[in-house]
Amino acid sequence: MDQQTVSEHVAESDVLIQPPAKVILFNDEIHTFEEVIGQLIKALRCDSSKAEALTLEVHHTGRAAVFVGPMDGCVKVSGVLEEIGLHTQIEV
């Protein structure tokens, strides 16, 4: 293997081993359960039972990881949640 081949191999593996990012949703006292559930369904395209479970986790613990995946997916999910003023954070 020549130096160029080694460099290309390392660069490819760097991309492959990056950990997924996650969207954290924080609890607030402004939005109703129904609003949060509806927005989670819209953002995650999940069923109501998953959205309800995530909403309860956020309510009881103050925060929850609602999505784990590639950064572009996290940005999309976070953007949809923030459309109604929910507070999110993307962690890597």
Tell me, what CATH number does 30's domain have? Answer: 3.30.1390.10
Q: Tell me the whole-structure pTM to 2 decimals.
A: 0.80
Residue 29 lies in a domain: yes
Confidence of residue 23 (pLDDT cuts 50, 70, 90): very high
Sheet holding 88-91: strands in order across? 63-69, 21-26, 88-91
The whole-number pLDDT of residue 16 equals 58
Residue 34 lies in a domain: yes
Number of domains the chain contains: 1
Confidence of residue 13 (pLDDT cuts 50, 70, 90): low
pLDDT tens-digit readout, 25-75: 999 999 999 999 999 999 999 999 999 999 999 999 999 999 999 999 999
Q: Which domain holds residue 34?
A: 19-91
Joined tokens for residue 60: 């009881």
> How many beta carbons lie within 10 A of that of residue 31, not counting itself?
18
Helices within 17-86 (DSSP H only): 33-44, 48-61, 71-82
pLDDT tens-digit readout, 30-43: 999 999 999 999 99
Question: Are 86 and 32 contacting, i.e. CB atoms less than 8 angstroms apart?
Answer: no
